[in-house]
Amino acid sequence: MTDDAVKTLILPDFLPYKLAVLSSRISRGIANQYEERFQLTLPEWRVMAVLGGEPDLSASQVADRTAMDKVAVSRAVKGLMQADRLLRHFSPNDKRRSVLKLSDSGEEIYAQVVPIAIDYEDAILNELTTEEQTQLDTLLNKLQDIEINTAHPA
Protein backbone atom coordinates (compact mmCIF):
# COMPACT_ATOMS: atom_id res chain seq x y z
CA MET A 1 0.00 0.00 0.00
CA THR A 2 1.40 3.39 -0.93
CA ASP A 3 1.50 6.28 1.51
CA ASP A 4 -1.19 7.99 -0.57
CA ALA A 5 -3.52 5.00 -0.52
CA VAL A 6 -6.56 5.28 1.70
CA LYS A 7 -6.95 2.42 4.13
CA THR A 8 -10.29 0.67 3.98
CA LEU A 9 -11.81 -1.14 6.91
CA ILE A 10 -13.39 -4.44 5.94
CA LEU A 11 -15.38 -4.97 9.10
CA PRO A 12 -15.94 -8.75 8.82
CA ASP A 13 -12.15 -9.18 8.47
CA PHE A 14 -11.26 -6.74 11.28
CA LEU A 15 -9.84 -8.69 14.24
CA PRO A 16 -11.40 -6.59 17.04
CA TYR A 17 -14.79 -6.91 15.34
CA LYS A 18 -14.43 -10.68 14.92
CA LEU A 19 -13.43 -11.12 18.56
CA ALA A 20 -16.24 -8.88 19.83
CA VAL A 21 -18.89 -10.68 17.77
CA LEU A 22 -17.60 -14.11 18.77
CA SER A 23 -17.48 -13.12 22.43
CA SER A 24 -20.99 -11.73 22.25
CA ARG A 25 -22.36 -14.87 20.58
CA ILE A 26 -20.69 -17.21 23.06
CA SER A 27 -21.78 -15.10 26.04
CA ARG A 28 -25.33 -14.93 24.69
CA GLY A 29 -25.38 -18.71 24.19
CA ILE A 30 -24.41 -19.31 27.80
CA ALA A 31 -26.77 -16.60 29.05
CA ASN A 32 -29.68 -18.27 27.28
CA GLN A 33 -29.04 -21.27 29.51
CA TYR A 34 -29.35 -19.41 32.83
CA GLU A 35 -31.16 -16.07 32.37
CA GLU A 36 -34.72 -17.30 32.65
CA ARG A 37 -34.03 -20.13 35.07
CA PHE A 38 -32.17 -17.94 37.58
CA GLN A 39 -33.44 -14.44 36.64
CA LEU A 40 -29.83 -13.45 36.11
CA THR A 41 -28.53 -10.97 33.55
CA LEU A 42 -25.26 -11.44 31.68
CA PRO A 43 -23.49 -8.64 33.60
CA GLU A 44 -24.77 -10.05 36.90
CA TRP A 45 -23.41 -13.48 35.99
CA ARG A 46 -20.03 -11.99 35.09
CA VAL A 47 -19.85 -10.32 38.49
CA MET A 48 -20.89 -13.56 40.20
CA ALA A 49 -18.39 -15.58 38.17
CA VAL A 50 -15.51 -13.35 39.28
CA LEU A 51 -16.57 -13.25 42.92
CA GLY A 52 -17.28 -16.98 42.98
CA GLY A 53 -13.62 -17.61 42.27
CA GLU A 54 -12.19 -14.61 44.08
CA PRO A 55 -14.32 -13.15 46.89
CA ASP A 56 -13.69 -9.88 48.68
CA LEU A 57 -12.98 -7.75 45.64
CA SER A 58 -14.01 -4.13 45.25
CA ALA A 59 -16.41 -3.19 42.46
CA SER A 60 -13.47 -1.53 40.69
CA GLN A 61 -11.47 -4.78 40.82
CA VAL A 62 -14.46 -6.68 39.44
CA ALA A 63 -14.65 -4.16 36.58
CA ASP A 64 -10.95 -4.69 35.83
CA ARG A 65 -11.25 -8.48 35.82
CA THR A 66 -14.36 -8.56 33.63
CA ALA A 67 -13.34 -5.72 31.29
CA MET A 68 -16.79 -4.25 32.02
CA ASP A 69 -17.25 -0.54 32.56
CA LYS A 70 -17.81 0.58 36.12
CA VAL A 71 -21.40 1.68 35.46
CA ALA A 72 -22.34 -1.81 34.20
CA VAL A 73 -20.66 -3.39 37.23
CA SER A 74 -22.44 -0.96 39.54
CA ARG A 75 -25.83 -1.84 38.03
CA ALA A 76 -25.09 -5.56 38.23
CA VAL A 77 -23.96 -5.23 41.85
CA LYS A 78 -27.12 -3.28 42.70
CA GLY A 79 -29.33 -5.94 41.09
CA LEU A 80 -27.50 -8.78 42.82
CA MET A 81 -27.72 -7.06 46.20
CA GLN A 82 -31.45 -6.39 45.74
CA ALA A 83 -31.90 -10.09 44.95
CA ASP A 84 -29.89 -11.04 48.07
CA ARG A 85 -27.22 -12.73 45.97
CA LEU A 86 -24.36 -10.45 46.93
CA LEU A 87 -23.06 -8.93 50.15
CA ARG A 88 -21.00 -5.77 50.60
CA HIS A 89 -18.76 -5.43 53.63
CA PHE A 90 -15.58 -3.70 54.66
CA SER A 91 -12.26 -5.27 53.78
CA PRO A 92 -10.67 -7.06 56.73
CA ASN A 93 -7.34 -5.49 55.69
CA ASP A 94 -8.62 -1.95 55.11
CA LYS A 95 -11.78 -0.80 56.90
CA ARG A 96 -12.11 2.14 54.47
CA ARG A 97 -12.56 -0.13 51.45
CA SER A 98 -15.81 -1.98 50.75
CA VAL A 99 -15.60 -5.37 49.10
CA LEU A 100 -18.11 -7.78 47.63
CA LYS A 101 -18.78 -11.46 48.09
CA LEU A 102 -21.53 -13.86 47.15
CA SER A 103 -24.26 -14.43 49.73
CA ASP A 104 -25.35 -17.98 50.54
CA SER A 105 -28.07 -17.63 47.90
CA GLY A 106 -25.50 -16.30 45.42
CA GLU A 107 -23.18 -19.21 46.12
CA GLU A 108 -26.03 -21.68 45.50
CA ILE A 109 -26.81 -20.09 42.14
CA TYR A 110 -23.11 -19.91 41.26
CA ALA A 111 -22.79 -23.64 42.00
CA GLN A 112 -25.68 -24.36 39.62
CA VAL A 113 -24.59 -22.05 36.79
CA VAL A 114 -20.92 -23.09 36.69
CA PRO A 115 -21.64 -26.60 35.33
CA ILE A 116 -23.93 -25.08 32.68
CA ALA A 117 -21.18 -22.69 31.59
CA ILE A 118 -18.54 -25.43 31.58
CA ASP A 119 -20.79 -27.76 29.56
CA TYR A 120 -21.35 -24.96 27.04
CA GLU A 121 -17.60 -24.35 26.80
CA ASP A 122 -16.99 -28.09 26.39
CA ALA A 123 -19.53 -28.26 23.56
CA ILE A 124 -17.64 -25.52 21.72
CA LEU A 125 -14.17 -26.90 22.40
CA ASN A 126 -15.20 -30.43 21.42
CA GLU A 127 -15.58 -29.10 17.86
CA LEU A 128 -11.81 -28.47 17.86
CA THR A 129 -9.02 -31.00 17.92
CA THR A 130 -6.75 -31.10 20.96
CA GLU A 131 -4.06 -29.39 18.89
CA GLU A 132 -6.50 -26.66 17.79
CA GLN A 133 -7.57 -26.12 21.40
CA THR A 134 -3.94 -25.69 22.43
CA GLN A 135 -3.30 -23.31 19.52
CA LEU A 136 -6.41 -21.31 20.36
CA ASP A 137 -5.39 -20.97 23.99
CA THR A 138 -1.85 -19.97 23.01
CA LEU A 139 -3.08 -17.40 20.49
CA LEU A 140 -5.65 -15.90 22.85
CA ASN A 141 -3.02 -15.56 25.58
CA LYS A 142 -0.64 -13.96 23.09
CA LEU A 143 -3.32 -11.51 21.93
CA GLN A 144 -4.07 -10.58 25.54
CA ASP A 145 -0.37 -9.96 26.17
CA ILE A 146 -0.08 -7.86 23.01
CA GLU A 147 -3.15 -5.80 23.93
CA ILE A 148 -1.96 -5.24 27.47
CA ASN A 149 1.63 -4.41 26.53
CA THR A 150 1.01 -2.31 23.42
CA ALA A 151 0.78 1.44 23.65
CA HIS A 152 -2.54 2.59 22.30
CA PRO A 153 -2.05 5.24 19.63
CA ALA A 154 -4.20 8.33 19.97
Domain boundaries, the chain: 33-142
Distance (Å) of CA 124 to CA 22, 23, 30, 79, 101: 12, 12, 11, 30, 30
The residues, ordered by sequence, that sit 6+ positions from 129 with a Cβ below 8 Å of its Cβ are none
CA dist 82 and 79 (Å) reads: 5
Do 38 and 112 touch, CB atoms closer than 8 A?
Answer: yes
Distance (Å) of CA 102 to CA 53, 80, 81, 88, 119: 10, 9, 9, 9, 22
The dihedral built from the CA positions of residue 107, 59, 29 and 122, taken in this order, carries a sign that is negative
Q: How confident is the model at residue 96 (pLDDT cuts 50, 70, 90)?
A: confident
pLDDT tens by residue, 49-89: 999 999 999 999 999 999 999 999 999 999 999 999 999 99
CA dist 106 and 48 (Å) reads: 7
CA dist 84 and 132 (Å) reads: 41
33-142: which CATH topology? Answer: Arc Repressor Mutant, subunit A (1.10.10)
pLDDT tens by residue, 9-31: 999 999 999 999 999 999 999 99
User: pTM for the complete prediction?
Assistant: 0.84
pLDDT(152) > 70: no
